Amino acid sequence: MNFDLSDEQRLLRDAVDRLLADHYGFAQRRSYLAEPEGWSKSLWSRYAEQGLLGLPFAEEYGGFGGGAIETMLVMEAFGRVLALEPYLATVVLSGTALSLAGSEAQKSAILPPVAEGRMTLAFAHGERQARYDLTDVLTTARPTAGGWVLDGAKSVVAHGGGADRLIVSARIAGERDDPDGIGLFLVDAEANGLARRSYPMRDGTQAAEIALHAVEVARDDLLGEPGAALPIIERVVEAGIAASSAEAIGAMEAMHAMTLEYLKTRQQFGKPIGQNQALQHRAAEMLIALEEGRSMAMLAAMMVEEPDPAERARNIAMAKIGVGQASRFVAQNAIQLHGGIGMTEEYAVGHYFRRVMVIEHMFGDPTYHLSRLAEQVQ
C-alpha cells in the first residue's frame, strides 16, 4: 500500500499545474466563457501538445497509456482552476467508451484526432425521463439495410452542442428499464435529423438537448455488440464518477484555501474573523471533510480498473456519496464563512460552489446512491 506518485506522475501533475497557473486566472477564465464555445480552443491545443488529450489512450492510437491515477491528477488540477474545456466529455467518457467497446477501425479513426485536439466528442446517454437510471432508455434504433435509424431525444448532454461526434445510446430491443437491448452508436453531429440546442449549466459549462428524428447510422458505427451496451455504459459512468470526483476535490481545495485566506484577512469588531473559535472549528471540519473526500476520490480512481464488477460498483458508489456529501459541506460553509461577498458573481467562491453542485448531480446524487447501497444491506 502506498500513496506516493511515480516520478512520471509528479512530472505530469507539475506540468499541468504550471500550464494552468499561466492560463487560468479568474479573469482569463471569464474571457474563455465569452468565447463562442464557452471554453478556450487555444488551451485545448495546448492540452494536446502536452499529451493530455490522449493521456488514457493506448500508444497505437496516439495515446500514453495512462491510467485512472493520471486522469485523477489532471482532473484535480482542472478542478482547482474551474477549467471549462470538454475533457470529461471527450477524453474520459467518450474515450472510455471507445477504448472499451470500439473496433480497431473505430479507434484508429477517432482516438488519434481526439489526442491531437482536432476532434471533440460527447457521451449522449441521459434522457429527460431517466433522471439517474442508466437502463431508462427510450430512444430507439431500428435496423435497416445499411445500418440503423435512431429516433428519440437525449438530455443534459455535457458539451453535446459543440462536439464533432456523439456517442448515442439507443434501444435495439426490450422495454424501458430493460438492462438488455441497449446499443451505443457513433453519430456525426451534422447528421440529417439530428437537432441540438445548447445552453449553459449553472456553473457556466456547456450542455445541450439533442433530438433525433430518423437519424441514419452506418452499420460500422455501432459500438460493440448490438444490445449489449449496458456494461460499457456502466464502466463509462464509473470512469466519469472517478474523474469528476477528482475535479470536485480540486475545487474543494480551492474553496478551503480561499476561506482560510478570508478568515485571516476579513476584519470585524476590530479583529480578523478567523479569531472566532466557532469559525476556526468550522474550518477544521471543512478540512476533515476535504481530506476524507480526497480519500474517497482516490478510492474511486483505484477502483476504476477493479475487475470484479460488484466490488467496483459498490466502492465507486461509496466514493460518489462520500465526495458528494463532503463537497456539499465544504461548499456551503465556504459561502457561509465568506458572508455576503461569497454570494456574488464577481467573487470566485460562488463559481466553485456551483461547479461541485453540478458535479454532485451528475451520475446520481448521494441520496440516489445511498438508497441503492442501503438495499444491499443484509
CA distances from 209 to 33, 182, 195, 245, 343 (A): 20, 20, 8, 24, 29
Task: For residues 259 and 272, give the distance between their C-alpha atoms in angstroms, rounded to a whole number.
Answer: 12
Residues in region 281-300 near a second copy by CB under 8 A: 281
Among 30, 142, 219, 264, binds another protein (CB under 8 A): 264
> Shortest gap between Cβ of 28 and another protein (angstroms)?
20
Residue 332 lies near a second copy (rule: CB under 8 A) = no
Q: Select 142 or 202, whichever has its Cβ closest to another protein.
A: 202
Question: Which C-beta is closer to another protein: that of 92 or that of 111?
Answer: 92
Among 15, 45, 116, 136, binds another protein (CB under 8 A): 136
- With binding defined as CB under 8 A, does residue 267 bind another protein? yes
Alpha helices by DSSP H, 24-149 = 26-34, 41-49, 68-81, 87, 95-101, 104-115
CB of 332 to a second copy, least distance (A): 17
Closest separation in Å from C-beta 271 to another protein: 10
Binding mask 237-276 for a second copy (x = CB under 8 A): ---------------------------------------x
58-97 residues near another protein, rule: CB under 8 A: 69
Q: Cβ atoms within 10 A of the Cβ of 358, count?
A: 19
Residues whose CB is less than 8 angstroms from the CB of residue 1 and which lie 6 or more positions away in sequence, other chains included: none
- Give the list of residues 6+ apart from residue 226 with CB closer than 8 angstroms, or none: 172, 183
One residue of 27, 34, 278, 377 binding a second copy per CB under 8 A:
278
Please select the residue that binds another protein; options are 18, 30, 142, 281, rule is CB under 8 A: 281
Say what the alpha-carbon torsion angle 53, 59, 64, 70 is, to the nearest 10 degrees. Answer: 90
Pair 137, 126: CB distance under 8 Å:
no
Residue 346 interacting partner from a second copy, another protein, none (CB closer than 5 to 8 Å by kind): another protein
Residue 18 grid cell: 504550471
Residues 6+ away with beta carbon under 8 Å from 219:
146, 147, 148
Q: 55 by DSSP, 3-state: which? A: coil
**42 lies in the site for a second copy, by CB under 8 A:** no
Number of residues that bind another protein (CB under 8 A): 97
**What is the grid cell recorded at 332?**
456551503
At its nearest, how many Å lie between a second copy and the CB of residue 275?
A: 9
Q: Which residues bind a second copy (CB under 8 A)?
A: 276-278, 280-281
